[in-house]
């Protein structure tokens, strides 16, 4: 049991180190990746009838959107794009809440799809940043 605990601690430190070493752009990409993973996990738990675990996974996805992605927006300097992303993130949270309350797999798919293009845009921006270096 001790080795499992040690492995988990090491993994947490590895993840935390990765976050600390990441650029702000990379952190946003990591949030999008974690968001999609949380939705996949929620779907698996929903299909298996594991209600509590499904709720935890959806809550994690909601927190990533509201406390990570949405909180990182600069509405004053971000202009229309920041405002539109803020509205999109608000809508995504509502879709996730609906999915959780109604065990709605279609809503999970919608929530995942809504942020796929934004995540792809962030990846493209990252490629452009790397090329400039």
Assigned domain for 17 exists = no
Q: Would 62 be classed as within a structural domain?
A: yes
Domain annotation covers residue 2? no
Question: What's the CA gap between 13 and 19, in Å, rounded?
Answer: 10
Residue 15: inside a domain, yes or no? no
**Residue that has been written with the tokens 């605990």 in this structure:** 5
- The domain total for the chain is 1
Tell whether 64 is covered by a domain: yes
Range of the domain at 111: 24-132
Q: What residues have CB less than 8 Å from 113, skipping those under 6 apart?
A: none
Q: Spell out the SS3 assignment of the chain.
A: CHHHHHHHHHHHHHHHHHHHHCCHHHHHHHHHHHHHHHHHHHHHHHHHCCHHHHHHHHHHHHHHHHHHHCCCCCCCCCHHHHHHHHHHHHHHHHHHHHHHHHCCHHHHHHHHHHHHHHHHHHHHHHHHHHHHC
Residue 93 · residue 102 · CB < 8 Å: no
pLDDT at 97: 98
For residue 9, pLDDT over 90 is answered with: no
Task: Assess if residue 4 is contained within a domain.
Answer: no
Tens digits of per-residue pLDDT, 48-85? 999 999 999 999 999 999 999 999 898 899 899 999 99
Tell me the whole-structure pTM to 2 decimals.
0.82
Reported as a single tens digit per residue, the pLDDT across 90-102 is 999 999 999 999 9
Q: pLDDT band for 43, please (50, 70, 90 cuts).
A: very high
Tell me if 18 is assigned to some domain: no
CATH (domain of 106): 1.20.120.340
Asked whether residue 120 is assigned to any structural domain, the reply reads: yes
């Amino acid at each position: 049991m001790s080795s499992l605990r040690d492995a988990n601690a090491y993994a947490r430190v590895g993840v935390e180190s990765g976050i600390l070493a990441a650029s702000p752009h990379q952190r946003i990409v990591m949030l999008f990746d974690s968001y999609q993973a949380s939705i996949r996990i929620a779907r698996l738990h929903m299909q298996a009838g594991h209600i509590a675990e499904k709720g935890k996974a959806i809550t994690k996805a909601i927190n990533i959107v509201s406390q990570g992605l949405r909180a990182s927006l600069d509405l004053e300097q971000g202009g229309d794009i920041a405002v539109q992303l803020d509205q999109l993130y608000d809508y995504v949270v509502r879709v996730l809440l609906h999915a959780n309350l109604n065990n709605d797999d279609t809503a999970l798919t919608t929530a995942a799809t809504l942020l796929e293009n934004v995540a792809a845009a962030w990846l493209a921006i990252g490629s452009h940043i790397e090329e400039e270096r």
